């Protein structure tokens, strides 16, 4: 069915566009002195295998899921444990109470494809900003 094929391609393009945006954010942070070497994922998105694999493949970074599926509850417990004095800091409570689960690794076989597509993404984004500037210069009545 042509409609189903179109919908699937549109969905994949949307997921990849978000992943390319994530890659751009990570590259910007790393250029400012940060050292991002993995993506930590929690919440509903962790149930979407395509979302996770595309983010790993596009960024070239492993995506690490938390062992606890109820991340909001874990966060509340961590804050409560710190507030009660059980831990000297939120960071320490996170270190002790938080655990890593499954790790999704990037597929090196698709790296060149995503590097090329990311270059196209950045070029199109730059052109879109330029075109928006042209249109914004037109007075609206």
Q: Which residues face 65 on adjacent strands?
A: 41
Would you give the DSSP letter of residue 45? G
pTM: predicted TM-score of the whole model, two decimal places: 0.82
Residue 102's contacts (CB-CB under 8 Å, 6 or more residues apart) are 64, 65
Give the domains, in start order, of the chain with CATH numbers. Answer: 2-69+99-136 (3.30.420.40)
Q: What is the pLDDT of residues 29-45, one digit of tens each?
A: 999 999 999 999 988 88
Would you give the DSSP letter of residue 46? G
One-character DSSP codes across 72-133: HHHHHHHHHHHHTTSSSSHHHHHHHH--EEEEEPP-GGGHHHHHHHHHHHHHHHHHHHHHHH
Q: What is the pLDDT of residue 44?
A: 84
Q: What is the pLDDT of residue 1?
A: 64
Residue with tokens 């993506």: 39
What CA–CA distance (Å, rounded) separates 94 from 87? 9
């Amino acid at each position: 069915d042509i409609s189903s094929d179109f919908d699937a391609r549109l969905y994949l393009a949307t997921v990849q566009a978000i992943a390319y945006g994530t890659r751009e954010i990570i590259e910007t942070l790393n250029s400012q002195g940060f050292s991002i070497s993995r993506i930590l994922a929690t919440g509903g998105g962790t149930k979407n295998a395509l979302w996770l694999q595309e983010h790993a493949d596009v960024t070239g970074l492993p995506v690490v899921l938390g062992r606890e599926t109820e991340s909001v509850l874990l966060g509340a417990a961590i804050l409560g444990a710190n507030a009660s004095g059980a831990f000297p800091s939120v960071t320490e409570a996170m270190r002790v109470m938080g655990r890593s689960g499954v790790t999704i690794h990037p597929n090196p076989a698709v790296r060149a494809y995503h590097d090329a597509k990311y270059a196209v993404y950045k070029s199109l984004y730059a052109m879109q900003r330029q075109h928006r500037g042209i249109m914004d210069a037109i007075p609206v009545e």
